[in-house]
Amino acid sequence: MASLIGRYLRLQSLLIVVIAVVAIILAFPLLGLTITDVFSITTILIVVLALNFMAGYAGIPNFGMALFVYIGAFALAGVGTRIALALVEIASPGFIELMRSSYPVILGDSGSFEVFVRVAGDPMVNRIMSREVESVIEASPILSLTLTLAVFGFAMIAGALTGILASLAAVRLREDYLAIVLLAFSELMVSVVFDQTDALAGGPNGAWVVRPWLKINALEGLARLLGTIPDVLISLAVGLAVLAVCFIYVERIANSPMGRMLRAMRDDDLAIGVYGRDVAMTRLKIMAIGAAMASIAGAIHASVYILVKAADTYDRVTWTFIPWAMMILGGMANNWGAVLGGIAVYLGRKAIYYYSPTIASAISPILGIEASVAGDILRAQLPNILVGVLIILVLYLRPQGIIPEKPSRTLSKKDIEELT
């Protein structure tokens, strides 16, 4: 009987979520939201889930999410463009030679190796070549699929390795050291190493992306109906699929013996160490998995962009701080909470963004500045300030978040009796 009620309640909560999601999607046109917003929410929710996995369940204070998301974007903009060029050259030999004769001024007598460096490093070469390469890729299903697998495979592996590398120095130490190292590592890799080195992915000028998607004419009509382009729809579909997989994966781990071990490690790493668990090794594994998830989110996010810049696009406010705010608002160590918090913070920021000009026209006479100037500044700064205030208020008033953490699901008494 109890399990029946439990199952009913679970079904009911699932129903509520489904209704909420449908309601939000229906409300989008009313709020002035577009398909791009749905896409942004999808990618950031993957990041929030990855963060919840690392910070909520395992207690790793990951203040360096931005780097892991950027690694995914780099997999597309820096590495993907070069893989794409190699694929095109293999499929139709002489492509680079053709490019060289088509654009003698910018490519001139560059050797083949130099072309590979410049195709993602030099803004001019990158801009022209990426369009040419993309037009070949999008026409061939085999090339498109190979490139997609290569980019996402690289994003996953590079993300996992970066996650391990970033936390290696402090994985045996207290959480505060771990937080400091992750913040420092992420900050310096994104805004010094990647942003200052042109050869990696264009440095401060950024790099144009070669979208790995196939050109599907059948999507044209649907895309026009939704006010977007087919490529964005494919990105959105991939994003939603990855989100679903990540959600099920994190949820299953959380409710497994491994999940209970992670919570125990978060609450008392010394005690779990005494019970014979290797805390450092577990943390490294969690860092690798979480960072790989964030990295895939970054690759999907970058696929709708035309130009990807390291420090400008992947700043710590958008990709570290706001996911933290979403997770804390929704409730740490609770995946439904993370999703709910993510949607709530995104819509809240959008609303502030929307009403900034109104607020600006009200306060600009007092400050003696033009309303349009004040509006631009408010629009850029006010959402961040309010998210900061929100975090502090949630921590003070409701530290457990909207949906508090629940005890992990175990086997029912009947199942255990059957097993024994």
Partner 1 sequence: MVLPSPEFIIYSIAYGSSLALLCLGLTLTYMTTKVPNFAHGTLAIVGATVTLMLIDRVYYQFRGDPLYYSLYIAAPLIAFFVVGLVALTEYLLVLRPLVRKGIGIIGLMIAALAFDIILVNILTMTLHLAPSEYFGKLIGQSLKGFDARVSLADITTTFSRLAMPVVAVILTVTLHLFLTRTKFGIAMRASIENPSLARVLGIDVDRVYIVSWFLAGGLAGVAGSFLSFIIESVKPAAGSLVIVSIFAGSILGGLGSIYGALLGGFLVGFMEPMATIMLQNALSEFLGRTVIITQYQRLFSLLVVIVVLLLAPQGLTGLNYREVIGRVRRVVGVG
Residues that bind partner 1 (CB under 8 A): 55, 59, 61, 63, 168-170, 173-177, 179-181, 183-185, 187-188, 191-193, 196, 316-317, 321, 324-325, 328, 367-369, 373-374, 377-378, 380-382, 384-385, 387-389, 391-392, 395-396, 399
Structure tokens at 26: 């229906």
The minimum distance between CB 363 and partner 1, in angstroms, equals 10
Strand partners, 308: 207
Q: Which is nearer to partner 1, 175 or 251 (CB)?
A: 175
Cα gap 321→329, rounded to integer Å:
12
The minimum distance between CB 176 and partner 1, in angstroms, equals 5
Q: Which is nearer to partner 1, 239 or 401 (CB)?
A: 401
Q: Which of 45, 32, 24, 17 is nearest to 350 (CA)?
A: 32
Q: Which is nearer to partner 1, 191 or 228 (CB)?
A: 191
- Spatial contact of 335 and 369, defined as CB atoms under 8 Å apart: no
Residue identified by tokens 């497994």 is 256
- Spatial contact of 54 and 293, defined as CB atoms under 8 Å apart: no
Q: Which is nearer to partner 1, 139 or 380 (CB)?
A: 380
Cα gap 163→216, rounded to integer Å:
36
Q: Which of 217, 245, 210, 255 is nearest to 233 (CA)?
A: 217
The minimum distance between CB 385 and partner 1, in angstroms, equals 5
The minimum distance between CB 179 and partner 1, in angstroms, equals 5
Q: Which is nearer to partner 1, 154 or 324 (CB)?
A: 324
- Specify the amino acid at residue 125: V
- Spatial contact of 57 and 266, defined as CB atoms under 8 Å apart: yes
- Spatial contact of 312 and 302, defined as CB atoms under 8 Å apart: no
Cα gap 66→313, rounded to integer Å:
10
The minimum distance between CB 209 and partner 1, in angstroms, equals 25
The minimum distance between CB 392 and partner 1, in angstroms, equals 5
Cα gap 115→171, rounded to integer Å:
40
CB contact set of 265 (below 8 Å; sequence gap of 6+): 58, 59, 272, 277, 279, 282, 283
Phi, psi at 396, each rounded to 5°:
-80, -45
Q: Which is nearer to partner 1, 65 or 147 (CB)?
A: 65
Provide the 10 A C-beta neighbour count for residue 136.
19
Provide the 10 A C-beta neighbour count for residue 191.
20
Q: Which is nearer to partner 1, 89 or 187 (CB)?
A: 187
Q: Which is nearer to partner 1, 126 or 191 (CB)?
A: 191
- Spatial contact of 65 and 186, defined as CB atoms under 8 Å apart: yes
Q: Which is nearer to partner 1, 66 or 151 (CB)?
A: 66
The minimum distance between CB 8 and partner 1, in angstroms, equals 35
The minimum distance between CB 359 and partner 1, in angstroms, equals 12
The minimum distance between CB 320 and partner 1, in angstroms, equals 8
